[in-house]
Chains A and B, each alone.
Chain A
Amino acid sequence: MEKSAGTGKKISFRTLGCRLNQYETDALLTRFHQAGYVVVDSREKADVTVINTCTVTNQSDQKSRNTISHAARKNPGGIVVVTGCMANNHREKLESSDHVTYVVENPGKSQIVSLVDAHFKGEVIQPHALQGDVFGFGAVDRSLHTRTFIKIQDGCDNYCTYCIVPSVRGRAVSRAPEQVLDNVRQVVDFGFREIVITGVNIGRYTHQEVDFEGLLEKVLNIHGDFRVRISSMEPEGFGPDLHRLFGHPKLTPHLHLCLQSGSDPILLKMRRMYTVSSFMEVLDRFRKHYPDFNFTTDIIVGFPGENDEDFSRTLQVARDARFSHIHTFRYSRRRGTRADRMVDQVDERVKAARSELIRAVSAENRIRYMESMKAKDQTVLVEQTGPGGIAKGYGEHYLPVRFTWPGSEKNRFCRVVLGSVEKTDPPVMMASLLV
C-alpha cells in the first residue's frame, strides 16, 4: 500500500460494543499501519483517534460519549473520528460537538483511511459522501487481540421490538463465500491461530445456494493449524443439523446463543422467533452429542410488561439451561423501536434488582461448569505470558485457564489438564501442562 500524507502520524483506536466492532477496528488498524501511520496505545497521545461506538443501550451511548470526550481532552489539536452505531443513531448531535472532528456512519467506516489522509493533505471530504463496502475492510494482519475475526455478514432483518441494530446496521447482507474463504486463508498465513466467525446475525447467512452451515463447513476444511470459534448467534435461522459440525476438531465447543427471556409471553412481545421449549431443545440436541458443550447467553431484564412471574420463569430457565455465563442487559428504551412505544415500562429499580439476581445465577453456573471440567484436557491458545513462566489463555470450551509454562509464547497452542477453580473475579481454572 502506498505511503500516505499521514505517514508517521500517531493513531490510536478505541472500541465499544460487539465483536463485529472489534473486528472492524482491527481491520482499520491494519490499513492505517500499512499506510504508514504509527499505531499507539490509547493511553498515549495521538494525532488521530478513531472511536468505534455502540448504541445498543443508553449505557452504551453514555460510555461512547465519555470515551469521545476523554479522547478529545487527552489529544488537544488531534483529530477525533467517531464511527460505529452511535454515529448512525446520533449523527447530528455528534457533528455539533466540539470534541468531534468527523462523524462517519457505518456504511462509510471502511473508508476512514481515505478521509484521514485527505485531512492531512488539506482536502475536504464530506464523511456522508463516503460509500464503502460493508465487507471492504480487508484481512487483519495486525490485531489488538490474539484471535482474529472473520466478518461473514452484516445487518439484520429480524426487527426484534427492543432492538435499534436494524436501524443503525441496515439490511441483512451476506458476504460471498469465496471472499470469506480467501480472508480465512490470508489470516491463517499471517499466523493467527483462532478465528472468530462474526457478523450481526450470522445464523441467517445466505449467499446464493450457500447457507451458514455450508459456509462453516468450507471454512473448517481449509488446511492449517487453527481453530474456529463462533461468536454470538440467534437461536433460530440455522438448520437442525448445525450440531453435527461441532464434531469437527477445528470447531470449538462453545456457542453464545441469545435467549433474552425465559418467558414465552415476553419472547412474543420481543418478536423473538422461538419459544423457551424450542430453545431448550436446541441445547438438549447439542448436549446429547457433546455433554461438556459450553453455552453462554444474553438476557434482557425489565422488558416492558415483564412481571414477577415472567422474571421467575427467566431465572429458572437461566438455572436449568446451565449457561456458564449470562451477559445481562437492563432493557433500555431505544427511540424508533416498537418496545419504546409500549406502555407498561418497568421501573429502573426493579430492573436493577432483577439484573443482580441473574448475575448471581450466572456466577453460580460458572463455578459449577468449571468444577465439572476438572481433570479434563484442554487445548489452550496462549494469550498472555508473565513472570515466572505464567501463561494465560482460553481452552476450546472458552474457559479462562492459567498454568506454568516456562518459555511460553503468545499465540501458541498447548495441551493442559484442568485442575482447581481459582475463585477470583472472574474465576480462572488452574491447569498443568501435559507433556
Chain B
Amino acid sequence: MKVNVEQALFIVDEVRLLTGSTYVLRFSRNDMAFTPGQHLVIGLPGGEEMREYSVYSGNNEEYLEVLIKEIDEGLVSRQLKKIKQGDGIQVRGPYGFFLSKAAGQGENKLLFIASGTGIAPFHSFVRSLPGADYHIIHGVRNMDEAYDLAHYDRDRITVCTSRENSGDFAGRITDYLLDASLYPEHQVFLCGNRHMILDAMDILRARGIPQQRIFTEVYF
C-alpha cells in the first residue's frame, strides 16, 4: 500500500555526528521521490516549528538523509540532534528547483560552489549522478568541516579553508574564484551563505559567466 507521504511519520535510522555541531540525520524514505537539489521541511511530531533542509542522500538510496548544523539558539536543529533511532519525525516535501537545470546536462560542465553545509544538495547530486561532469568548490573554515570528503572523487573537489592552511587552497571561495579555471560552457550552482553567493556571482559575471548560467540556493 502506497504511503501518503504528506501525512506519515518518517522513522529515524541514525544520527551520524560529523563534528561537534554538524550531523547527518538518516530516516525512512517512505517511497518519497525527489530530484537532487530539492529540500524537505522537517520537525518533531506534533510540533509547530519546522525547518528546511536540502536532501543529502542520493535518489537511488533506500533512505533519506539531511545534513544539519546545530545552531546555538536554534530550536529544531537542537531537537533533531537528540533524536534516537526508532523515533518519528514529520517530513514534508520535497520542494524546490535548485538543481533542476543541472540534471541530465550531459554536455555542460557543472561547477558547484558551496559554503559550509551548503554542500548538501551537491552531495545528493553526486550520489545520484556519479557520471556527471562536475567540480565542487567547498569553502570551509577548517578541514573538519569538509564533510564526508571521502564520498567524493578527490580530483573533483577543491576544499578552500579560510582559517587554516590545511585544505587545497588557503583562503575564501571568492579568493579562489578570482583565478580558478572557468569555461564558457560552465553552468554554475551556488549554495550556502548569501554574502558568499552575492560576492561569488559578481566575480563569476566579471569573469564572463553569463547570469543565465548561474543558479543559487541560499542558506541563512
**Which of A171, A277, A342 is close to B220, meaning CB atoms less than 8 Å apart?**
A342
How far, in whole Å, are A264 and B197 apart by their CA atoms in the complex? 11
- Nearest-neighbour CB distance to chain B for A389, whole angstroms, equals 52
Check B198–A159 contact: CB distance below 8 A. no
Q: Which of A159, A264, A265, A336 contacts B96 (CB 8 A)?
A: A159
Flag B31-69 by CB within 8 Å of A: 1 or 0 each: 000000001000000001010100000000000000000
CB within 8 Å of A: which of B187-220? 194, 197-198, 201, 211-212, 215-216, 218, 220
- A275 CA to B209 CA, complexed, in Å: 14
Q: B212 and A278: CB pair below 8 A?
A: yes
Assess whether A265 is in contact with B211, with CB atoms less than 8 Å apart. Answer: no
Q: How large is the interface on A (under 10, 10 to 19, 20 to 34, 35 or more residues)?
A: 10 to 19
Residues in B with CB closer than 8 Å to A336 are: 48, 50
> Is B95 an interface residue, CB under 8 A from the partner?
yes
By a CB distance below 8 angstroms, the chain B residues around A278 are 211-212
Taken together as a complex, chains A and B put the C-alpha atoms of A296 and B48 apart, in Å, by 37
Q: A278-B211, A278-B212, A338-B52 are in contact. Are A269 and B218 (CB under 8 A)?
A: yes
Q: Are A159 and B95 in contact (CB under 8 A)?
A: yes
B97 within 8 A of A: yes
A125 in the interface, Cβ–Cβ < 8 Å? no
Chain B interface residue bracket vs A: 10 to 19
Count A/B pairs, Cβ under 8 Å. Answer: 40
* Interface pair B194/A338, CB less than 8 Å apart: no
Chain B residue numbers with a CB within 8 Å of A342 are 220
Interface membership of A210, Cβ < 8 A: no
Tell me if B96 and A268 are in contact (CB < 8 A).
no
Whether the pair B95, A269 counts as a contact (CB closer than 8 A) is no
- C-beta contact mask, A132-158 vs B, less than 8 Å → 1, else 0? 000000000000000000000000011
Interface of B is mostly: mixed
Q: Determine whether the beta carbon of A157 is less than 8 Å from that of B97.
A: yes
Once A268-B218, A278-B212, A342-B220 are accepted as A-B contacts, the answer to whether A273 and B194 lie under 8 Å apart by CB is no
**In whole angstroms, how far apart are the Cα atoms of A273 and B217 in the complex?**
8
When the two chains form their complex, are residues B218 and A157 in contact, meaning their CB atoms are under 8 A apart? no
Q: Is the CB of A268 within 8 A of B198?
A: yes
Set of chain B residues within 8 Å of A237, measured between Cβ atoms: 97
A271 at the interface (CB under 8 A from B): yes
Kindly list chain B residues whose C-beta atoms are within 8 Å of the C-beta of A268: 194, 197-198, 216, 218
Name the residue on A nearest B41 (C-beta): A159
Contacts of A427 in B (CB 8 A): none
What residues on A are CB-neighbors of B198 within 8 Å? 264-265, 268
- How far apart sit A425 and B171, CA to CA, in the bound complex (Å)? 58
Q: Smallest CB–CB gap between A372 and chain B, Å?
A: 29
B194 A269 Cβ-Cβ under 8 A: yes
Given contacts A269-B218, A271-B218, contact A277 B97 (CB under 8 A): no
Cα distance A342–B96 in the bound complex, in angstroms: 20
- List residues of chain B with CB within 8 A of the CB of A273: 97, 215-216
In the assembled complex, how far is the CB of residue B161 from the closest CB belonging to chain A, in whole angstroms? 25
Residue among B6, B48, B96, B216 with most chain A CB within 10 A:
B216
The listed residue (B50, B194, B215) touching A265 by CB distance below 8 A is: B194
A338 near B95: Cβ-Cβ < 8 Å: no
From the candidates B48, B212, B220, name the one contacting A338 in the complex (CB within 8 A).
Answer: B220
CA distance A277 to B212 in the complex (A): 10
Min CB–CB distance A214 → chain B (angstroms): 18
Query: Digit string of A307-340 for contact with B (CB within 8 Å is 1, else 0)?
Result: 0000000000000000000000000000010100
Q: Which residue of B lies closest to A166 (CB)?
A: B95
Which chain A residues border B218 with CB–CB below 8 Å?
A: 268-269, 271
**CB nearest neighbor in B for A172:** B95
Closest Cβ–Cβ distance, residue A384 to chain B (whole Å): 42
Q: A171 — which chain B residues lie within 8 A by C-beta? A: 6
CA distance A166 to B41 in the complex (A): 12
Decide if A277 touches B211 in the complex (CB within 8 Å): yes
Closest 7 A/B residue pairs (Cβ): A157-B95, A268-B218, A159-B95, A268-B194, A278-B211, A277-B211, A275-B211
Query: What are some 10 contacts across the A-B interface (CB < 8 A)?
Result: A157-B95, A159-B52, A159-B95, A159-B96, A268-B216, A271-B218, A278-B212, A336-B48, A338-B220, A342-B220
